[in-house]
């Protein structure tokens, strides 16, 4: 049988895709990334389903479960938080499956940075402000390539979504201040779409203290840029004086 890598979405169990939900309901074996995947997603599963929390397992153990289950003709749902292509450590698993000739599919999910924009009711790509979104992290146990240091990325003054890094907010702010003005808006979104979600909004000068006072040190995104402000150009797409493939300009 086969393995399905499924994006679980950011937390709210209704933010998984219909396809992902159906596959979870039909799976014989579920392996989920324990710390961030909402267990409510597993309220409707097959009787006798085997459920593993990968938080306490290493890669070899996860792969052993997958490979032996598939050999027994079982369907495996490997459930990752948000979308598995973003800091999902999914590639190494897919490569091992390839090596063993095990068929697999990937079902995308709603990444937390998208849920955060929805909670903030903001658009990352405002005309006249920024047309580029950079998803990044600062170095932790996983190194970040030299060319992608925050100081270099900051030069673009693009919209920044920083994952896995809220514990280093002070250092982040210092790096960003080398390029962004101090009054650049920053939002920290903790557990977007979960009932315990928190949104902290400030600027590069204020945010580190605000977040420290809230005691947030994990499961949060740091979002930076003037997209959080209120100045922007109107879109060309809906501009009455601008024609495109589906609509001609008004005279
Ligand atoms: N694949 C995931 C990211 C996994 S890395 C995705 O697409 O969202 C884990 C990091 O993602 C966390 O440290 C945090 O920065 C962010 N994250 C995951 N879920 C979140 C949520 N609901 N709210 C805010 N940040 C979240």
Decide if pLDDT at 70 tops 80. Answer: yes
For ligand 1, atom 2, name the residue with the nearest CA: 82
Does ligand 1 lie within 6 Å of residue 33's CB atom?
no
Q: Give the Å distance between the CA of 217 and the centre of ligand 1.
A: 13
Pocket test for ligand 1, best of 20, 112, 196 (most atoms within 8 A of CB): 112
Smallest CA-to-CA distance from 187 within 178, 175, 197, 179 is with: 197
CA distance 7 to 112: 11
Does ligand 1 lie within 6 Å of residue 216's CB atom?
no
Q: Give the Å distance between the CA of 163 and the centre of ligand 1.
A: 6
Decide if pLDDT at 242 tops 90. Answer: no
Q: What's the pLDDT score for residue 251?
A: 58
Minimum-distance ligand 1 atom for the alpha carbon of 191: 23
Average pLDDT over residues 227-249: 83
For the chain, give the mean pLDDT: 95
For 88-126, write each residue's pLDDT tens digit. Answer: 999 999 999 999 999 999 999 999 999 999 999 999 999
Does ligand 1 lie within 6 Å of residue 86's CB atom?
yes
- CB distance 183 to 205 below 8 Å: yes
- Burial, 75: exposed, middle or buried (Cβ in 10 Å; 0-12, 13-18, 19+)? middle
CA distance 173 to 222: 10
For ligand 1, atom 18, name the residue with the nearest CA: 112
Decide if pLDDT at 140 tops 80. Answer: yes
Decide if pLDDT at 244 tops 80. Answer: no
Q: Could you give the 3-state DSSP secondary structure of residue 135?
A: strand
Q: Confidence band (pLDDT; 50, 70, 90) for 197?
A: very high
Does ligand 1 lie within 6 Å of residue 82's CB atom?
yes
Q: What's the pLDDT score for residue 111?
A: 98
Kind of pairing between the strands at 3-7 and 76-80: parallel
Q: What's the pLDDT score for residue 235?
A: 85
The Cβ of residue 3 has, within 10 Å, a number of other Cβ atoms equal to 25
- CB distance 30 to 64 below 8 Å: no
Minimum-distance ligand 1 atom for the alpha carbon of 109: 7
Pocket test for ligand 1, best of 89, 219, 223 (most atoms within 8 A of CB): 219
Q: What's the pLDDT score for residue 250?
A: 65
- CB distance 186 to 203 below 8 Å: yes
Q: How far apart are the first and last CA of the chain?
A: 60
Name every residue whose Cβ is closer than 8 Å to that of residue 161 and which is 6 or more positions away in sequence: 113, 116, 124, 133, 134, 135, 136, 221, 222, 223
Decide if pLDDT at 32 tops 70. Answer: yes
What are the DSSP E strand ranges found in 85-208? Answer: 104-107, 133-137, 159-163, 185-190, 198-203
Does ligand 1 lie within 6 Å of residue 79's CB atom?
no
Q: Give the Å distance between the CA of 241 and the centre of ligand 1.
A: 40
Q: What's the pLDDT score for residue 91?
A: 97
């Amino acid at each position: 049988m086969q393995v399905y890598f499924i994006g679980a979405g950011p937390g709210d169990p209704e933010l998984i895709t219909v396809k992902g939900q159906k596959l979870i309901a039909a799976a014989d074996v579920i392996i989920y990334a324990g710390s961030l995947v909402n267990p409510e997603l597993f309220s409707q599963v097959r009787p006798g389903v085997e459920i593993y929390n990968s938080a306490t397992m290493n890669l070899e153990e996860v792969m052993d479960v997958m490979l032996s289950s598939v050999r027994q003709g079982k369907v495996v749902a490997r459930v990752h938080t948000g979308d598995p292509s973003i800091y999902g450590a999914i590639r190494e698993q897919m490569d091992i499956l390839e090596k063993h000739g095990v068929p697999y599919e990937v079902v995308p999910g709603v990444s937390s940075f998208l849920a955060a924009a929805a909670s903030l009711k903001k658009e990352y790509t405002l005309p006249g402000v920024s047309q580029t979104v950079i998803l990044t992290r600062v170095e932790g146990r996983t190194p970040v390539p030299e060319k992608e240091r925050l100081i270099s990325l900051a030069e673009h003054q693009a919209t920044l979504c920083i994952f896995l890094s809220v514990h280093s907010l002070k250092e982040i702010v210092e790096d960003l201040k080398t390029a962004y003005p101090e009054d650049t808006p920053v939002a920290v979104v903790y557990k977007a779409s979960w009932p315990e979600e928190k949104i902290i909004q400030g600027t590069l000068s204020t945010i580190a203290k605000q977040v420290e006072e809230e005691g947030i040190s994990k499961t949060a995104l740091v979002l930076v840029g003037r997209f959080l402000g209120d100045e922007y150009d109107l879109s060309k797409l809906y501009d009455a004086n601008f024609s495109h493939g589906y609509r001609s300009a008004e005279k």
